[in-house]
Amino acid sequence: MARYDFDLFTIGAGSGGVAASRRAGSYGAKVAICESVRIGGTCVLRGCVPKKLLVYGAEFVDAFEDSAGYGWTLGERRFDWGALIAAKDRELDRLNGIYVNLLKGAGVAMIDGHGKLVDPHTIEVGEKHYTAANILIATGAWPELPKVPGIEHAITSNEALDLKALPKRIVIVGGGYIAVEFAGIFRTLGAEVSMVIRGDRLLRGFDEDIRIALGEEMAARGIKIHAHTHLDRIENSPEGFVATAHDGAKFAGDTVMYATGRKPNTATLGLQALGIEVAHSGAVVVDQESRTSLPHVYAIGDVTDRLNLTPVAIAEGRAIAETLFNDNPMTVDHQTVPTAVFSQPPVGTVGLTEAAARGMHGAVDVYRTRFRPMKYTLSGRQERTMMKLVVDRQTDRVLGCHMVGRDAPEITQGLAVALKCGATKRQFDRTIGIHPTAAEEFVTMREKLPEPQAAAAE
């Protein structure tokens, strides 16, 4: 008779939890997964997928405008926000069904409800208890709202994906990737957008040239960015919602959206009562193998607040399944992970920022170019692309690739392979570019930027 009900019990059916459970089940393990909402998690239901669909919808605006320069004459244009949201919802239903079928196909038991650990090997879901040899926490994170008077009037990215109507005016609080992506969506579709950020620029933590270039392009699109500003209160008035800043400045909109951070979903899991270490932020503390302070309890994805990216969570989940159930010990390399921001224009980045590279390697060479893409020469659009390489001067190894502009995410994915392989600037230089493309600029940059001290002295 088996000692436990399951070999693996996963709490949370997002991308990481599903990947781990499905693979473990395919290796013959007896697996269960519980979910209190819908199978699919943040990425499929409240994040990457629906947001990217809205980005696609917004991009048609630029395409229609640019087409005139290429000889097209278009008739009346009309955008239906409700139709886009309905189409998005149908796609999410389809993906949810695929995830359910993948788990069924792997023999994974799906349990509806909120999971909580009640002892080292027992999970409580509703009124039932299940035991497992190994437990995986994959509960993700949730948007966090600050305690500001009137905060009940604000929405988060969750609600922004399901608005009944497109706002005519929206105030977006925050300057991270979620904020800039929604700012681009709403502005391109015709809304007046004001962004309120505490810092000096958007995308804190990204390379400084990305932050500068994106800020300039977003401002050129008519997005108003208010730096060094934080809100004290939100009030409902006959003119809409009015957000008042610390200096008395007022920002009015039909909608106020906060995108100021996400908090790991750990508060009701019973972790600390079992001695599982949880950081002050609420994140589960894990080692390189995703183990918590209880060796048979693992955690992956956003709940660990390491690299909060869907492909990373999937890789972490698969590594656990390989290690535990396929005799194939595996860990995930969290270095040189590419990422994108689906802003307008989009961002792609992989490797170290210039500041991080200087801090870690000392002397670096920096190459940067800005240009107007060929596609816009006939359309008249003034948007510019920025590309940048950061190179270790001693070894010639490329440490970072950064881009703001059309197709940046697609181009950066290929560059990530080169960085993972340890490519040098000389190898970039010896690579023949595809002409005419924007991507070829990454293998044709030859002029180094002057050192910061020298540039400041000029």
User: At 334, is the secondary structure helix, strand, or coil?
Assistant: coil
Dihedral (C-alpha) 396, 399, 405, 410: value to the nearest 10 degrees? 100
DSSP strand pairing (364-371 vs 339-341): unpaired
Contact by Cβ (8 Å): 421, 441: no
Angle at 303 between CA 300 and CA 307, to 5 degrees: 70
Of the candidates 112, 127, 139, which has an alpha carbon nearest to the alpha carbon of residue 292? Answer: 139
**Alpha carbon 434 to chain centroid distance?**
29
Of 153, 246, 334, 435, the catalytic one is: 435
Rounded to whole angstroms, the Cα distance separating 440 from 383 reads: 18
Give the chain's count of helices (H) and strands (E). 13, 21
| Contacts for 438 with CB less than 8 Å, ≥ 6 apart | 373, 374, 385, 387, 405, 406, 407, 411
Taking a C-beta distance cutoff of 8 angstroms, is the pair 351, 401 a contact? Answer: yes
Instruction: For residue 330, give Cα distances in angstroms to 137, 290, 315, 327, 333.
Output: 18, 11, 10, 9, 10
Nearest by Cα to 256 from 200, 193, 199: 193
| Alpha carbon distance 420, 414 (integer Å) | 10
Which H helix or E strand runs over 7? strand 6-11
Other CB atoms within a 10 A radius of the CB of residue 231 amount to 25
Residue reference for tokens 């040098």: 424
Closest Cα partner for 170 from 195, 151, 146?
Answer: 195
Tell the residue number behind the tokens 């040189």, with chain if given: 336
Distance CA 290, CA 292 (A): 7
CB atoms < 10 A from the CB of 75, how many?
Answer: 4
Residue 121 falls in the annotated catalytic set: no
> For residue 254, which of 193, 189, 180, 174 has the smallest C-alpha distance?
193
**Residue 33 backbone dihedrals phi, psi, to 5 degrees:** -140, 140
Give me the active site residues, please: 435
